[in-house]
Structures are given as structure tokens and as C-alpha cells.
Amino acid sequence: MQHTSETLGRRILLIDDSSAIHDDFRKVLQRASGNAAELANVEAAVFGSVPERVATGRTPFQIDSALQGKKGVELVRQSLQDKRPYALAFVDVRMPPGWDGIETVKRIWELDPDVQIVLCTAHSDYSWEQTVHLLGHPDRFFILKKPFDPIEVLQLAEGLTEKWRLGRQEKRHLEDQRRRFEDERHRSEDLEHRLADLDRKIRERSEDLQAFRSINAQLDAANRTLTAAGERSDSKVKETCSLERDMRRALLAREFRVWYQPLVEIASRRIVSLEALVRWAHPEHGMISPAKFIPIAESTGLIVPLGEYVLRTVCEQVVSWQREQVPVVRVAVNVSSIQLERRPIHELVRSVLRETGMQPHQLALELTESALLNDLENQCRYLQELRNDGVEIEVDDFGTGYSNLAHLKHLPVDALKIDRSLIEELASNSSDNAIVVAILALARTLGLRVIAEGVERPDQLQVLVRHGCEFAQGFYFSHPLPPDSCRDLLCEVAERQSFSDTLRLRIAASRKRE
């Protein structure tokens, strides 16, 4: 059977463990095949003009489906054997119990590195930088957030299949040039002359490549905007750039503040540690949420000086409290994966502890599991050295993303912090309940402490007590407090010997007045 380049360029593979998602994609893509006028508008939006082939009718998308990554890879292998390769694959990031999206894409590219990939996810499993680190080739994959907009699916399908078609066309052209050269070489001894001629033809061909590069640049820019902010408006881009400039100024002006949220031992109601949380007191916009400025700090690299600033501020504050005879407890500081990549973490921590005079046993570091798994061997060595000094290591946001239990038993950690998303509906959601029970059992086996984050209601606390969770943190006990309020709380709890309900309600009332 003969297959035209147009037919091959319209072959799409859907890999998702939900049949409903397959149906949604087919509705969008098959409807697109029957509505030439609408697709012409879409292609004009992507490429700036409508190719002549649109006017004479468009070949429908040919769509195949797989419910698991392994089946999808088998379809890719078969398509290559049949000489009917796929141009594009939409791959779900989460597909239990089989391969996840990252592993599936790696296996697909081992067979056919030319397949364009769209990773579909409803969760923030990996940052853009982590995904690029795991897969490489940022020009060959894009990220689509669920629930997806049909126009985004159409734009990606049209743009990426066209990109694949142009890439194959360019490969064929270069192969034709090479074959012609080889034919000429056998007929002539003037090899250097013909090499120069071939180089000239390739340079002339670069003008045709400009359209292909333009498509790639536009799609890459659109993908980054979708991943970082979910919005494509000019006002959003301007706001992001403005915040970045303000952050650089704010670091010099010391506008960032460090607040502290208590971590409580459930049985005794004692405060056993604090988590340091950064706040930005903007001179014009007031308090800016960390959810707004932390992603910008990570994408621009400003998280490195900001993280060191927070660590140094915490150490200086603890030493100051000690001089005032405040009964201090251990303070946990969050560490970004970007910080781990830039400088060995043990060098930074030891330097700041030495300069401020804070004791190592008064400090804890909170890192996500994905951050620990990057450069695993070196990170384990650095963190173990800090543990030997007395610094505690905690895994933050545990239970989300891809928790690798095989690696966990080898990681130099002291505690797991259950992500707040598992606590929110703990009393009513059987799945979340089962996950929390499993985490607690795992921690007991490995000798690790477990801390429940995001505890806001009595019913959540009751379930945690029933399952044997010993530590909790959240608005039920206290919101994050500025340093002076936190100092007063530490002194009062030391006198009372416990974090009583009366004290808890009084703190909540004072927060409302603020």
C-alpha cells in the first residue's frame, strides 16, 4: 500500500490510561479533519499563513490509541516496521500501574527519535527544568495541562505534525544531495570542486529552513508560557518581567521577610520545631504571595541568592533569640533543586553556620524527593556530611509525584512530610487515607519521623491520631508568624508546657484582626 507524505504526516498516537481522554482527543481531532475552514484559521494563527494544500482539502488525522506506555511503544515499533511512522504522540504523565510518561517517551525515542511529543498532565509532577534534565531535546516535546482547551490541542496537532513533515522533507532533500554527490564522485576525480558545490547548495537551502525554525521557535515560546503561567497575554508577561526586576532590587533592599510556622507533637501539644517561610513586603503592592514569586525566582536563578538569604536570616534569628534566652527549637529551611545544582549544599550550610554561630543541631533542611534524586550519589554524600554535623534532613511534599521507594531507604533523611494535598480530604477520601496509612507504615519500617502538613480541621487531626501520626503542622495550630510573634509564642508555650486550645484560638483570633 502506498502512503503519501501528507498521509504519514497526519498519524497521531494517543497514550493515556483513561478511555475518556482518548474519546475527548478523538472528538477534537476528528472534528478538526471535517472542518477545513476552522483548521485554516488555526494554521494561520500558528504559521502566519495558510499553505496552499489547505485550499485543496486536508488529509484527516489518522489516530491510534494505547492505554499503557508499553502498548504505545509496541505500536511505534510496528509503525516503523510497516513504514508508517507516527508524527506526533500525546502521552499522559501518570499511567499506573505501568510505565509513567517520562519512561514511555524515553522508550519511544529509542525506537524513533523523530516523533514529536506532547506530555499531558493535570499535576505539577516535574518542573520544566527537571523534565528537560530527564528527557533532553527540549525542541522535541511540549507540555499540555489538563483540562486542555480544544484549540490548544488543535494548534499542537497541526503545528507539530507540520514540523515533523518539514523535518522529513528536509532529511529527504539532504539525502538526495548526498546521493547525487556520491554519483558525481564516482564519475569525476574533481572531488574538492564538487564538495564546494554541495556546500554552496546546502547554504542556499538555509533560506528554506527559516520557516521550519520559525515554527519551532513559536511553539517553544508558547509551550514555556503555558508551563510557567498558564496564560499567554502580554500583560502577564509584562507582570512577570516587572516582578523579576523588583525581586533583584528587593534582595538588595532586604524587603524579604522570614516568618515561622510551628510544628507540633500531637500527643503532648509541644512545639518541637519551626518551618521558615519567606514573605515579600513589596513597597507598592504590599505582601506578595510566595506562590507568585517563588516560580519566577526558580526560573531566573534568583532562588539561589534568595535561598541563601533565608538560610542566613534564620541562623541570625536563632542566635538572637538565644541571646534573649528564648527557648528555641529546631528550624527547617526549604532548599530548591536549583540551589543543589549550583553549589555543594554542605559547603553553603557550613559556611553560614560558621559565620552566624548557630549550632548545626538547631537546623533542618527540607528538600523534595525529586531534588534529591538529581545527581543522587553526590547529593547523598553532601547531605550525609551535614547529618554527621547534626543537621536534620526532611523530605518535603512526600506522597505526590513519583515517590521512589527503592531509593528512599538509601537516602540520608530523618523525616517525611506528608503533602497537604493528601491531608485536605483525609477524613472522607479513602484513597488519600490509604496512602497516608502506607506512608506511616513505611516510615516506621525505615525508622523515620512523619509530619503531616496542612492540618486545618479537628477531623483531620483525629484521623492522624488514629493512624499513629506523631507530628503535625498547619493552620489548625497556627498560621505563619512574624519573628516577634513567634518569639512570644515560644516563651508562652514553654511556660504552659503545651500548645493549648485556648492559646491556639487566641492566635487565630489575632490573625483575623490583622
Q: pLDDT tens per residue, the chain (514 residues)?
A: 455 555 666 899 999 988 888 998 898 888 755 554 554 555 555 555 555 444 445 678 899 999 999 999 999 999 999 999 998 999 998 888 888 888 999 999 999 988 999 988 877 667 778 888 888 777 778 888 888 888 888 888 888 888 888 888 888 888 778 878 776 766 655 545 654 555 565 555 555 555 456 555 555 655 665 555 444 445 666 777 888 888 888 888 888 999 999 999 999 889 999 999 999 988 888 888 888 889 888 888 889 999 999 999 999 999 999 999 999 999 999 999 888 888 899 999 999 999 999 999 999 999 987 787 777 888 889 999 999 999 999 999 887 755 556 667 778 999 999 999 999 999 899 989 999 999 999 889 889 999 999 999 999 999 999 999 999 999 999 999 999 999 999 998 888 766 666 666 566 555 555 5
Please tell me the pTM assigned to this model.
0.55
Identity at 125, one-letter amino acid code: D
**46-55 LR contacts (CB < 8 Å, sep 24+):** 46/155, 46/158, 46/159, 46/162, 46/215, 46/218, 46/219, 47/159, 47/162, 47/211, 47/215, 53/6
Sheet holding 62-66, edge to edge: 62-66, 11-15, 88-92, 116-121, 141-145
Q: Which three cell numbers stand for residue 5?
A: 507524505
Bridge partners (DSSP) listed for residue 279: 257
Cα angle: 232, vertex 235, 239; to 5 degrees: 105
Helix (H) / strand (E) element for 339: namely: helix 337-342
Q: What is the dihedral of CA 417, 418, 421, 424, to 10 degrees?
A: -110
- Domains of the chain, each with CATH number or no CATH: 5-167+215-228 (3.40.50.2300), 239-513 (3.20.20.450)
Grid coordinates 481522554 are at which residue?
Answer: 21
